[in-house]
Structure 1
């Protein structure tokens, strides 16, 4: 009887222990281990070469996921270091797209890097190096792709290639995106002599991989070939991971009965998980995937890399993955000492409170010392300088400070100071002239202090915030995984906002009989507007206004650099549109649609009833409509603001719609155009006035502007 009681007690203990082990934690909990990388990265490929882990990924949250080609590396799978790889550009142009990279070790011991790029057709290109991090050399000096667009079938988009080395040494590739429109994934064998071309390629019928989208990934379990892939849409919560299995690398494949195996969880703390790879460590499997950020950036392209346990029920069945914020247990013991800043008290010059029609969220100072890559401290606006102070609670020895800024591949200029009393400050590290990006930024010294003060002075890109995922403080030095350092940038620090009214066009200030072929801009940048097409100065309901029929005003001054990249702005206008059902109806534009031709590199304010009726960003996944379209043929005050985080449209002083965004505004060749876009899309209605500022006005300020500029009847 005693033995039975002991047996059942043991079973209960084990069962309770398993429940406890599976229990997740809040997404903003201190010490959460998902995401594993501090930054915006997607499409992760996880590899282990020797004793070092590497994650090759798409750099996200800018220019339609077209950031620098970077790799993350770690020896303990906890402390990750970012490196910007040296990859030669194409002969015809520089590389912007570095999408969904993968890496293969050849029979010659060299490393072969492959990634997708759509600048010269949507192709897969290949590079080779003696090390996993480069420097890289082209496989083809003539830029011949390894997998070309239209292969193996005409019109097929060759992106998202992943390679699989079989037990017989053969290497197979699997690729394809938007495959539900393109007839299924593709498979082929990599020519191991050249490592630069595919042979025996074919398409996998759609029925063998139901509900696909992109991101095929092949692995082998026993004698079974497991073809995993991502389904639904990468832009929203429907994104998921699925699988099929076969006895051959070419199929035919049988869909898994329990698909999808990884999806958005119930509380949506893991939102839109997908585009993964798999790490096998001893007999355990881990799925490394990306998920969307929280608060979620519009279009779902501010993604972060996570890891969770993946369990095979048998060689052809994967159990459903439980996505977590907790992540996984330590794979190996870390030699990095205790972070003495963890959980300590913080204060800051300011912090950002995101208030929109979707979210109410605070980027608190304490999020900088919580060792959680899902949270960050972000200043209240994108003005600098901004500071963050960490109180260690007592005077301690400080040998190393590691700072993870929001964007790993752009530099921040900053200084670190220390103090024993919080009043008298001495220099710990002066990076006020820094032009080298990195994550973490590592600063060593040997001091005793209670307080550490980080002051962000400037950023490489316009409109980036003083923002920190984590700042970590150590009392002793320790070895770093690899002796890598990024090259310094030649780009000077970003131009800051002038906090001025840039453009002021007001019909009421013109005489009734004025010629309007040219009009002086009364805003701070000056210049002259030149009319093109059909615009007249008329009265509508007794209000003097420009009547746009098929014309525009174009300013002869360059778009100010304070509006570049993620620069803040406000557009205010009094308008009356007789027909809101028309396409286009652009009130103002100031970006070049063709410079990057990427989704969030273009901005324009519109007034129509369509999906981009308020703001145009080239791609429907990023455009913003009016929730309630302003009534046609009536005067309205329409305002668009962007503060570097949230885009808001106001109608008659009230917020109508908003979305979290990060822009990559292309202004280099652009013109400020009133009443049209750079390709036409003309406004057809009345405009009494329009103003453009290079900062985001508060709602209180907007109400004042609305009152001051309200057109009067004559």
Structure 2
């Protein structure tokens, strides 16, 4: 019996070993992350809120007219899959609403939603609106446009922008606001009437020394018994932008600077560049900072910004640890119900893609970028011509029920079609949006097909000069419920104009030329009109025939500036010039936008020849203007060429690249004339010019070398 017991024990041991050896590995659930950037598009100054089971991000729409895009909101259930909606916000009585800067929103005691944002069209004020929904439509709190916080409150000439509110434990709502505060005496604080929600009282100044090195974007919150005032410092246009904080025992202060300042700044490798203007999301005992950072490659002026999220940790109620900015973002704390994107990391090809090759960058906007589930990368076509196509290979035949396309600009419409194929040769239509006028991100198209290949063909866009470009194209084997069933309204704007790929305006002076009938050699035709007293001269040193512009300019009357030059339209300007004296201002070689009617950056475009920050190209704001790196020598003949291909602006001097910068333009041409030797406000060129040419496309380096 004893022997049987031993045998039985040994047998059981063997069985247990075999079972252990055959044990299936433990399958760990794949972690989900809220990746950075969070949103697929150009947005800044984010305010994140949760109403019900849906998260909302209200933000400034960026990368056009000094961040003056449409008033939009993003919404999501899981903080991973976001949907954009253009809100209906009534315009001001005096001006058409254009600035929708740094919005904030509160849920009132009455269950309604109160939206606040800054606007500088009628003075830099904070205006208020109300709605029964976080999405609107919105109604004015004051029909006569009385601001909730007016310019000059509580200090004379104080710009009331960047307002953020928080509700204290006793129900009192405090607001903090101010920008350019480093020369406006510091931030301001006041109490919002929590019954009417339409006025602020008890306004007070927070002295500069309580928030060292401030610029804008105050963000208030409470931790325990401490009042935390976070804010952004330095310049929003470059890598110096950062987040600091102070704390106090009272909402009005006095505030004490935090110990770990700055808590968020440009990191060593530059992957997080110029982070700031943030809000904070709390989930239980965890805090997350939601902020914007600059794009890569960097766009001149720092107005192409994207929203990110990272963990924010308190050491105690008055001390915040330095934030570690990441590309991974944070681990998701809401499980996503969205099915697998079957196009993630799939093979891709395109009709073309843009290769940014400049002194600062060697970067490709490759087709694979549209299938990497990364909001920092995109596919972009090689130029702004249409059609352009993007194709994905799923690897094998699969069921496809939904395609969600995130185009570069969420608030412009794109016209496109999606086709599917089994063999990459025979194609059928999945969705036809060739006449689309509805903007949105993502654009959702549903069908039910079997396919291995899908092809997106972009046929046009709402804005002239905008390239076919896609952050992500996501494909699903099944449709799914969206957080909110709502669609943007169709735009009434005609699609952007195509380039004529031609010389629009030009002349070349020779011994037969006459100022009485100087013909335009470009496709726009007509003769140039002489304004002032110009003279034809012959350079004694070189024998070159030219126009002396010291006492006037040329204007092309009888024709409108073509739409191919509006908005982000490509162009090239060629000017053969000799400037005897190069000053610090003026010396406009040509213009086709009116400076006096515009005040927002990138809406004005004109090549110059002077020593200033706009010596090569003016865009209304020093942060966007382009100087010469090497000023062309005075009193000598030079051929100056400026080109813009929809992405990069370049200036060449005598065939050599002198300077370049990444740009997005918002050129306003309505009512403007093509002028040579002046802008609409003067800024006269005072030298000689023997040749001029204006094209509505970007010349190649080979073409430039032939001048």
TM above 0.5: yes
Contact kept? 1:31, 1:370, Cα under 8 Å: no
Larger Rg: 2
Contact kept? 2:401, 2:446, Cα under 8 Å: yes
Matched with 2:632 is 630
Matched with 2:144 is 142
Matched with 2:604 is 602
Q: Aligned partners of 1:48 and 1:665: how far apart in 2?
A: 37
Residues 26-50 of structure 1 show CA distances to partners (whole Å, capped at 9, x for unaligned) of xxxx988100000000000000001
Report whether the alignment pairs 1:526 with 2:528. no
Report whether the alignment pairs 1:568 with 2:567. no
Distance apart, 1:358 and its partner CA: 1.4
In the alignment, which of 122, 125, 131 is matched to residue 124 of structure 2? 122
Distance apart, 1:593 and its partner CA: 1.7
Q: Aligned partners of 1:103 and 1:594: how far apart in 2?
A: 35
Secondary structure in 1 aligned to 2:331? coil
Q: Aligned partners of 1:571 and 1:388: how far apart in 2?
A: 32
Matched with 2:255 is 253
In the alignment, which of 345, 349, 352 is matched to residue 350 of structure 1? 352
Distance apart, 1:505 and its partner CA: 1.7
What are the ranges of 5 or more consecutive residues in structure 2 without an aligned counterpart? 1-31
Distance apart, 1:153 and its partner CA: 1.1
Contact kept? 1:518, 1:531, Cα under 8 Å: no
Q: How does 1:257-336 map to 2 (within 5 A)?
A: 257-336=259-338
Matched with 1:13 is none
Q: Aligned partners of 1:31 and 1:498: how far apart in 2?
A: 46
Q: Aligned partners of 2:171 and 2:523: how far apart in 1?
A: 67
Q: How does 1:39-188 map to 2 (within 5 A)?
A: 39-188=41-190
Matched with 2:29 is none
In the alignment, which of 487, 492, 495 is matched to residue 493 of structure 1? 495
Matched with 1:589 is 591
Secondary structure in 2 aligned to 1:508? coil
Distance apart, 1:82 and its partner CA: 0.1
Distance apart, 1:528 and its partner CA: 2.4
Aligned CA RMSD, in angstroms, stands at 1.1
Report whether the alignment pairs 1:545 with 2:532. no
Residues 403-433 of structure 1 show CA distances to partners (whole Å, capped at 9, x for unaligned) of 0000000000000000000000000000000
Matched with 1:709 is none
Matched with 1:535 is 534
Distance 1:115 1:32, change over 3 A: closer
In the alignment, which of 618, 621, 630 is matched to residue 620 of structure 2? 618
Q: Aligned partners of 1:287 and 1:643: how far apart in 2?
A: 37
Q: Aligned partners of 1:328 and 1:340: how far apart in 2?
A: 23
In the alignment, which of 431, 434, 442 is matched to residue 444 of structure 2? 442
Q: Aligned partners of 2:475 and 2:92: how far apart in 1?
A: 42
Matched with 2:16 is none
Q: Aligned partners of 2:578 and 2:360: how far apart in 1?
A: 28
Contact kept? 1:127, 1:138, Cα under 8 Å: yes
Residues 623-646 of structure 1 show CA distances to partners (whole Å, capped at 9, x for unaligned) of 000000011100001000000000
In the alignment, which of 232, 235, 243 is matched to residue 234 of structure 2? 232
Distance apart, 1:193 and its partner CA: 2.3
User: Greater shift after overlay, 262-271 or 87-96?
Assistant: 87-96
Distance apart, 1:518 and its partner CA: 4.7
Residues 650-709 of structure 1 show CA distances to partners (whole Å, capped at 9, x for unaligned) of 0000100000000000101211110011100111110001000000011001112x0xxx
Matched with 1:6 is none
Residues 220-239 of structure 1 show CA distances to partners (whole Å, capped at 9, x for unaligned) of 00000000000000000000
Q: What is the TM-score normalised by the length of structure 1?
A: 0.93
Contact kept? 2:402, 2:477, Cα under 8 Å: yes
Residues 323-362 of structure 1 show CA distances to partners (whole Å, capped at 9, x for unaligned) of 0111000121100010000001000000000011211110
Residues 81-129 of structure 1 show CA distances to partners (whole Å, capped at 9, x for unaligned) of 0000001111122110000000011111110000000111111000000
Distance 1:126 1:509, change over 3 A: farther
Q: Aligned partners of 2:183 and 2:623: how far apart in 1?
A: 18
Q: How does 1:696-711 map to 2 (within 5 A)?
A: 696-704=698-706, 706=707
Q: How does 1:210-221 map to 2 (within 5 A)?
A: 210-221=212-223
Matched with 2:580 is 578
What are the ranges of 5 or more consecutive residues in structure 1 without an aligned counterpart? 1-29, 707-714
Secondary structure in 1 aligned to 2:551? strand
Report whether the alignment pairs 1:682 with 2:681. no
Matched with 2:10 is none
User: Greater shift after overlay, 524-533 or 251-260?
Assistant: 524-533
Distance apart, 1:519 and its partner CA: 2.3
Secondary structure in 2 aligned to 1:626? coil
